[in-house]
Amino acid sequence: MSATRPQRSLVLRPATPFRAATAVNAAVAVVGLGAMGSRVAARLLGAGHEVTVWNRSPGKLSPLTGRGAVAAGTPAEAASRAGVLITMLSDPEALRSVTEGPDGIAAGAHPSLTVVEMSTVGRAAVAWLASALPAGIGLVDAPVLGSRAEAESGSLTIFAGGPAELVERVMPLLSVLGSAIHVGPLGSGAAAKLVANAAVFGTVAMLGETVALAQALGLPSDMIHHVLAATPLAAQAERRRAAIESGAYPPRFRLALARKDARLISEAAASAGSDLRLIAATETWLAGAEQAGFGDRDYTAMLETILRHGHGHQERPTPGLRRGRSRVPAGYDGLIIDLDGVIWLGGDPITGAAEAIAALRARGIKVLFLTNEPLRSRGTIAARLTDIGIPATATQVMTSAAAAARTVGSLPGLLTRRALVLGPPALHDEISAAGFQLLTCENACQADVVVVGGHEGFNYRELRAATVAIRNGARLFATGRDPVFPTPAGPEPATGAVVAAIEAAGGRPAVVVGKPEPIIFDIAREALAGCQRIANIGDNLTTDIVGAKRAGLDAILVLTGTTDRAELERAAIQPDMVLDSLASVPTAIMTADFVRDE
């Protein structure tokens, strides 16, 4: 170990404010005072804690300040006043908005602060939060199962993810709110919550379809419930009977939030390569109920939608496309285009790709080539494109390696700029060009960041080095999470397989930069500066289409790569346009129009 840089510990020895987290009067801040956050703050006040509160809408502060809470002017102020800060927010975008910037949580964080993230935002958002907070800040993800009544009574089920020592230290605080279960390392709480919600949503949807079937077959209401009482749906059928018969669904958990959670479940499943057809169907029922105006009712109002339309008679909603709205032209002036499966396949050019790019450029459309491949440099890829008749420069190519370098290069508050890079030479070159000193495995304990990309040389020596670096406080970044990639001889391990091993040993989830995460799409959008409307073109439902949708981009699927029409039909997240190949794109986007919400 270098004598000039002390070894850091992943779990910091807490300063006095953090030790107070286990005391009756611990200083706690709650950021986000919606239906759940306000009740969490009230429980903590009732238990004798010093509570600081912040909410975007100040009107929600007075009931709590009237009971002794202190109102903070910004999330940064809330963080500066607390030993433990709880976030309870609606979605990943809200979490990002209260964390970033001069008024955000990260700006007000101090070395003895522990952040307990209790929103339902998914593992990717938790990983992002870990990277956004200053190095050394404790973080536990602890989403809850239960609603308003459980929050008021302190009977929530809490899924806690994080280092065992850190979770143990916040357990007394969490016990005020309910029963906490340590489910694994950081990010496991978010994963467990999605699993629990998948079970809850799927059960309600199954009940609705079962009742719809019974009604279609002519069974009377009493007989339907008598039959269901003899099945695994017995408890749900009894619990929901009054609502089904009265049509009243007072909100305990708003359907709009359930729809958001269902989207997170589908995205997580797609990223993990899991084919969940029942959950996909459930998401369409929730989407249909929201479109029917039930967003502010309880999530179980999807039962009314199911029963009203009958199984199989509701048109499946396509994300980004709706009927009965205004029509707008495609009108793209920028396109993000995948390479493998779109431009070439197995290294061989796809017919019509070069001509399509030429036609798009002739119409003034800017093009950026985007790939998850970390193996080749941008210059090498640009040269290959030029060789097949698509003139390109390195600035017109973005790789996951380059995006990773851009991401870690912009991190604030690094003690040094030292990186342990585990990946191909192109990844080493990009991180070095971003101003980092590259470390050997023997000096891994000095690393501020660990950056991982798939490569054939990964071995136990590298795994051990990454583990040492991460458990000494280094942040973990990965170029992608694809577990395998196709070859003529069959699938071979990809970056995701390497990352999984490092996450398991390091005890911390990686911030994934490559597709389908929004980070790489945001970087691509910056490269197309000046473009007002951008679409993403790809062949992979999981990385290209899901990724584009998460980044707020239109998504065009071409069928020259990994996706066939049967897989497309089963997909929960649908593209805005489906074409046989890139050759069809110039004509299609100049003549197509989409039906969109106002």
- Active-site positions? 338, 340
Closest CA to 423 of 462, 393, 453: 453
Closest CA to 506 of 473, 458, 481: 473
Question: How many whole angstroms separate alpha carbon 497 and alpha carbon 441?
Answer: 20
Evaluate the CA torsion angle 129, 132, 134, 136 in order and state its sign.
positive
Q: Which amino acid is at 168?
A: E
DSSP state for residue 561 in the 8-state scheme: S
Token pair of 236 as six digits: 């749900």
Local structure of 556: helix, strand or coil: strand
DSSP state for residue 22 in the 8-state scheme: G
For strands 593-596 and 326-329, give the pairing.
antiparallel
Q: Which amino acid is at 291?
A: Q
Local structure of 340: helix, strand or coil: strand
**Alpha-carbon distances, residue 493 vs 483, 496, 501 (angstroms):** 6, 8, 12
Consecutive H or E run containing 337: strand 334-337
Query: Quick count: other Cβ atoms within 10 Å of Cβ 48?
Result: 12
- Beta-carbon contacts of residue 558 (< 8 Å; ≥ 6 apart): 341, 342, 537, 538, 539, 578, 579, 580, 581, 582, 584, 585
Question: How many whole angstroms separate alpha carbon 76 and alpha carbon 101?
Answer: 9
Closest CA to 26 of 44, 53, 40: 44
- Beta-carbon contacts of residue 316 (< 8 Å; ≥ 6 apart): 284
CA angle (30, 35, 37) in 5-degree steps: 10
Query: Quick count: other Cβ atoms within 10 Å of Cβ 424?
Result: 20
